[in-house]
Amino acid sequence: MAWRSAKLSTVAQLVKRLEPVAPTKEYRQIGVRLWGAGAYERETISGAETKYANFTQLKKNDIIVNKIWARNGSVSVVSEDLDGCYGSPEFPVYEIDQTALVPRYFYWFTKTRMLWDQCDLLSRGTSGQNRLKPERFLEIVIPLPLLDEQRAIVQRLEQASLAMQQVRALSKTAVKESHDLVFSLHSELSSPEPIRFGELAQLDERQVAVEADEEFPQIGIRSFGNGLFFKEPVKGTATAYKKFNQVYEGALIVSQPKGWEGAIAVASSEHDGWFVSPEYRTFRCDEDRLDHQYLSALIVTPWFQQELSKMTKGQGARRERLRPEMLTALELRMPSLDHQRVALGIIQKVRQAAAAIKSRTQEADTLIPAMLHEVFERQPDATHASQSASSTKVVRLPKSQTTTIDTSFKEAVLVGAIVKAFQEDGGQPIGNFRLQKAVYFARRHMGETALDKDYLRKAAGPYNPSMRYSGGIKIATDKKWIKRAVGNFGEGNTLGSVTAELDEWIERYQFATTAAWVRDRFKFKSNDIWEISATIDYATLALNRQNSPPTPAAILAYIEADDEWRSKIEKLNLSDATIQNAMVDLETLFADARR
């Protein structure tokens, strides 16, 4: 049975429990986070510390709205521990009719784009301030099942939320234990006499002159040992630097401004050839004394991070830079190269287990958004639906498609179609990694199986940042069909300014259905799931072409034999069991596409 939808005004009312502010009284203040992240208790203040003449006292199960930031999802329901807090006039309050609406059901609804988009629309005015008028919030339309079903939905969501918290806690524990093991092995195997770090690694910088007409793809370093990340390319005309340092595999990269807070990492093969500014210093390990993979495991431990912090003085922006001579002067006890490699064998197994838990955590992180989508974005009963209510579009697939992407231009149209599909669904940019994998599955959905297609192999393989600067992605960007943008979940690709032309080409090539299929099947899956699926699918195609049965063992052997793909085994925690599960998922996926 389809649900009806109803305006909030039918199940809640605006209340004004105004209390004159007394200068000598203390008031527990409340705040509301953006994007449905909940209400929280702010600092307690005295009445003498506020400019407001009145406060509103809040009760458990009240709806509270930040009228300035409602358009960004600053809406929540007051929990028991916030009962009795006070809000300023900037926070209108609504009392729920609990005979029709379960408060926790509405709490979960505050985490949906369906609510955020309506708040954004209702906040728009002529003043340019985009504040939400309290009365207008009651025009919000919500899906409204019967009370028993609301309670059942709340129970499912809260059980899932508890499970996610447990998975996150397990992941955090696994990371800590991994770091503890590294430090324990390091301490146990190290020689008694300390050695200067400069005897183990030397400053080795590949400086490349900046040419005005060239682009230099950049790498950044996250603080606290959280690794490297890819950044936007810098044009030669857009930088004051005369030279960049080129990264190479095994290089220890140190941020001078942020080295004291753990902005240090070892480059892998995927970073080879990229660039960093002169503020990032690169060191080469002495291969006879220091294994760069061992160093990579060591530098992320809290112990090593603390050693970095000790080297510099000052606070905040005035903190001293971590200069190369400071790092090379660091004295530490170190295992022999043989002992490093023995330890590394143990460390890698533990890190594989931690990575598997992390992968499960990432997968679990998609659970709540997927459940919210399923619960709240179903089609409401047409006899009750308001024009303001959001509805779910159902995509019906043709029985078969055999379109081949035989030119870079067609590939660019497909890229644009995918970005458009994701934009229409949630309004958020799609990141480069997900776009790369989305193009792979779009082409597979259209029946493409030719293994000599270079793009298919690259798209199924490890993340290939260079694809942003060539082929379909570059063409779509150059034609202004897509552009770079920053959303709630980071940087990615969104629709550009020339959408009418893109729409014509999407229609000509009939790519809209395929793009929607990819979006609807993959939007709530983690990056690792996308990559596992693409990897196993491509390996299966390759084995079939060789007339070899694509068993899990054969697929694992195929991946292990490929120099470029071998690292996927550890990264994705691939085993016969995970490959078998992926094969079942792929069979279901493509069977669905054929119906």
Q: Which of 32-36, 95-99, 241-245, 587-591 is predicted with the least confidence, judged by mean pLDDT?
A: 587-591
* Cα–Cα nearest to 113, from 561, 388, 360, 427: 427
Task: For residue range 171-199, list pLDDT tens digits in order.
Answer: 889 889 999 999 999 999 999 999 999 99
Residue predicted with more confidence, 81 or 455: 81
The amino acid occupying position 371 is: M
Please say if the pLDDT value at position 491 is more than 50: yes
**Residue 57 pairs with which residues in a beta bridge?**
86
Q: What is the mean pLDDT of residues 99-128?
A: 87
Please say if the pLDDT value at position 379 is more than 80: no
* Cα–Cα nearest to 94, from 54, 132, 138, 52: 138
**Residue 243 pairs with which residues in a beta bridge?**
209
Please say if the pLDDT value at position 417 is more than 90: yes
Residue predicted with more confidence, 467 or 177: 177
Share of the chain above pLDDT 90, in %: 48
Q: What CA–CA distances, in Å, run from 554 to 347, 361, 558, 560, 565?
A: 27, 28, 6, 10, 14
Helix (H) or strand (E) holding 344: helix 337-365
Long-range CB contacts for residues 25-28, cutoff 8 Å, separation at least 24: 27/55, 27/86, 28/84, 28/85, 28/86
User: Cα 251 from chain centroid?
Assistant: 26
Query: Which pLDDT score, from 0 to 100, does residue 254 have?
Result: 96
Query: Which pLDDT score, from 0 to 100, does residue 464 have?
Result: 53
Query: Which pLDDT score, from 0 to 100, does residue 485 have?
Result: 86
Q: What CA–CA distances, in Å, run from 274 to 17, 244, 382?
A: 60, 10, 55
Q: Rounded distance, CA 431 to CA 484, Å?
A: 9
Please say if the pLDDT value at position 145 is more than 90: yes
* Cα–Cα nearest to 410, from 387, 442, 434, 386: 442
Helix, strand, or coil (residue 220): strand
Task: For residue range 291-303, list pLDDT tens digits in order.
Answer: 999 999 999 999 9
Residue predicted with more confidence, 64 or 359: 64
Please say if the pLDDT value at position 387 is more than 90: no
Which parts of 279-422 are beta strand (E)? 280-285, 331-332
| The three-state (H, E, C) secondary structure of 349-380, written as one string | HHHHHHHHHHHHHHHHHCHHHHHHHHHHCCCC
Phi and psi at residue 224, to the nearest 5°: 60, 35
Q: Which domains does the chain have, with CATH numbers?
A: 4-143 (3.90.220.20), 195-334 (3.90.220.20), 384-594 (no CATH)
CB burial of 133-156 (b: ≥16 within 10 Å; e: otherwise) equals: ebebbbebbbbbbeeeebeebbee
Query: Which pLDDT score, from 0 to 100, does residue 458 have?
Result: 57
The structure tokens listed for 447 are: 């029946």
Q: Rounded distance, CA 570 to CA 584, Å?
A: 21
Query: Which pLDDT score, from 0 to 100, does residue 509 have?
Result: 85
Q: Which of 230-234, 323-327, 363-367 is predicted with the least confidence, judged by mean pLDDT?
A: 363-367
Q: Among positive and negative, which fits the CA dihedral 343, 349, 352, 358?
A: negative
Q: Which of 182-191, 278-287, 419-428 is predicted with the least confidence, judged by mean pLDDT?
A: 419-428
Query: Which pLDDT score, from 0 to 100, does residue 318 have?
Result: 60
* DSSP string computed for 63-89: EEE-TTTGGGT-EEE--GGGTT-EE-T
Query: Which pLDDT score, from 0 to 100, does residue 592 have?
Result: 58
Q: Rounded distance, CA 298 to CA 262, Å?
A: 12
The rounded mean pLDDT for the chain is 85
Query: Which pLDDT score, from 0 to 100, does residue 2 have?
Result: 60
Q: Rounded distance, CA 200 to CA 299, Å?
A: 14
pLDDT class for 526, splitting at 50, 70, 90? confident
Task: Indicate yes or no: pTM above 0.85.
Answer: no
User: Cα 554 from chain centroid?
Assistant: 32
Q: CA geometry: angle at 155 spanning 151 and 159, to 5°? A: 170
Dihedral, 545, 550, 556, 557 alpha carbons, nearest 10:
-60
The structure tokens listed for 397 are: 């697939």
Query: Which pLDDT score, from 0 to 100, does residue 594 have?
Result: 54
pLDDT class for 384, splitting at 50, 70, 90? very low
* DSSP string computed for 105-119: HHHHHTTSHHHHHHH
Please say if the pLDDT value at position 3 is more than 50: yes
Please say if the pLDDT value at position 249 is more than 60: yes
Q: What is the mean pLDDT of residues 534-559?
A: 86
Query: Which pLDDT score, from 0 to 100, does residue 460 have?
Result: 61
Query: Which pLDDT score, from 0 to 100, does residue 336 have?
Result: 96
Q: What CA–CA distances, in Å, run from 377 to 7, 109, 141, 179, 536?
A: 16, 10, 12, 42, 32
Query: Which pLDDT score, from 0 to 100, does residue 469 have?
Result: 44
Where does residue 276 fall: left (phi above 0), alpha (psi -120 to 50 degrees), or beta otherwise?
Answer: beta
Q: Which of 387-391, 454-458, 492-496 is predicted with the least confidence, judged by mean pLDDT?
A: 387-391
Please say if the pLDDT value at position 489 is more than 80: no
Please say if the pLDDT value at position 393 is more than 50: no
Contact 82, 56 (CB under 8 A): no
Query: Which pLDDT score, from 0 to 100, does residue 549 have?
Result: 87
Task: For residue range 126-142, list pLDDT tens digits in order.
Answer: 444 678 999 999 999 99
Query: Which pLDDT score, from 0 to 100, does residue 130 have?
Result: 72
Q: What is the mean pLDDT of residues 64-74?
A: 92
